[in-house]
Amino acid sequence: MELAITIFIDGLTYASWLFIVALGLTLVFGVLKILNIAHGSFYALGAYAAATFVGWVATMHWAPGWTLVAMFMAAIAIAVLVAPLTEKGLLRFFYGHDEVLLVLVTYALFLCMEDITKLIWGANPYYVSEPYSMFGNVEIGNQIYVGYDFLLIVIAVVVGSVVWFGLNRTRQGKIVTAVIHSPEIASSMGVKVSKVYMMAFGVGVFLAALGGAFTAPMISVQPGLSVGVIIVSFAVVIIGGLGSIEGAAIGALIVGLARAFAVHVVPVAELFSIYVVMALVLMVKPEGLFQRIQARKI
């Protein structure tokens, strides 16, 4: 019983930050129809920026709570700086082209950003330890868990709820939905499609950076961080169904539990347990668990 509880909590913790990142990836695909390989680089930028901002707060000897604000502001800073440059300065020139070309463009961007992070922050690892110890430990049964892990779960629930509410219960969300179904018709009705694309891409970058910023206290922030993240994020959105918020949540939970089970029961299978689960899901539902129904074109 204790092992099952441990697997569930570890899986939920892993799924929480992964859901935030995958949510940004599936949102960008749903609106812009782009499989953004560079999404993992935005995650890494968020982690590096959080390490920098938290370091500034530490040198100023502010209260520990300000480190959380610093991480959140780091994600906003990355979104504000990087999203317009990427969408307006690069991706906008390739809209309407073959999807494979867009994948290659984002892959090239990914390679460039890997070198840019090394130029800015160097090759040495960064450690963001201050926020991780803020919430103490939580004892459940005979196991002790770090309180910060449960904060990530809360953040994931809040982020998912806000994005779902924004898309389904607000006027701007209805406009985004209209653009998803038919950019041409939405444009003819007076909707500025380019503005919607910019907004959606900015939110996607922010979610990736937010995931990186709040994961930074749990990991070593170093070069190569983005590679593993984008691979696992793709696994999540493929399992859940591209363009689906519900699918991203379920996919992240499946991946998190599969990884936690492998770590605690079959450690040698950790590296490929996620892909085994993905293969099993795709064998049953090749389009993903929550693939949106596509409108039939006449």
**205 assigned to some structural domain:** yes
**28 assigned to some structural domain:** yes
Is the confidence at residue 100, as pLDDT, over 60?
Answer: yes
Is the confidence at residue 95, as pLDDT, over 80?
Answer: yes
For the stretch 7-44, pLDDT in tens is: 999 999 999 999 999 999 999 998 998 989 999 999 99
The structure tokens 């993240």 sit at 229
**249 assigned to some structural domain:** no
Sequence-ordered list of residues with C-beta below 8 angstroms from that of 80, at least 6 positions apart, any chain: 202
What pTM, to 2 d.p., does this model score?
A: 0.94
For the stretch 116-138, pLDDT in tens is: 999 999 999 999 888 998 898 88
Cα–Cα nearest to 215, from 123, 114, 128:
128
Is the confidence at residue 295, as pLDDT, over 50?
Answer: no
141 phi-psi bin (left φ>0, alpha ψ -120 to 50, beta other)? left
Cα–Cα nearest to 218, from 133, 118, 136, 114:
133
Sequence-ordered list of residues with C-beta below 8 angstroms from that of 266, at least 6 positions apart, any chain: 273
**253 assigned to some structural domain:** no
**279 assigned to some structural domain:** no
| Number of domains composing the chain | 1
pLDDT, residue 298, reads 37
Question: What's the CA angle centered on 140, arms 137 and 142, to 5 degrees?
Answer: 100
Phi, psi of 190 (to 5 degrees): 100, 5
Structural domain containing residue 191: 2-223
**290 assigned to some structural domain:** no
CB atoms within 10 A of CB 88: 14
**22 assigned to some structural domain:** yes
Q: What is the CA radius of gyration of the chain?
A: 19
**88 assigned to some structural domain:** yes
Is the confidence at residue 285, as pLDDT, over 80?
Answer: yes
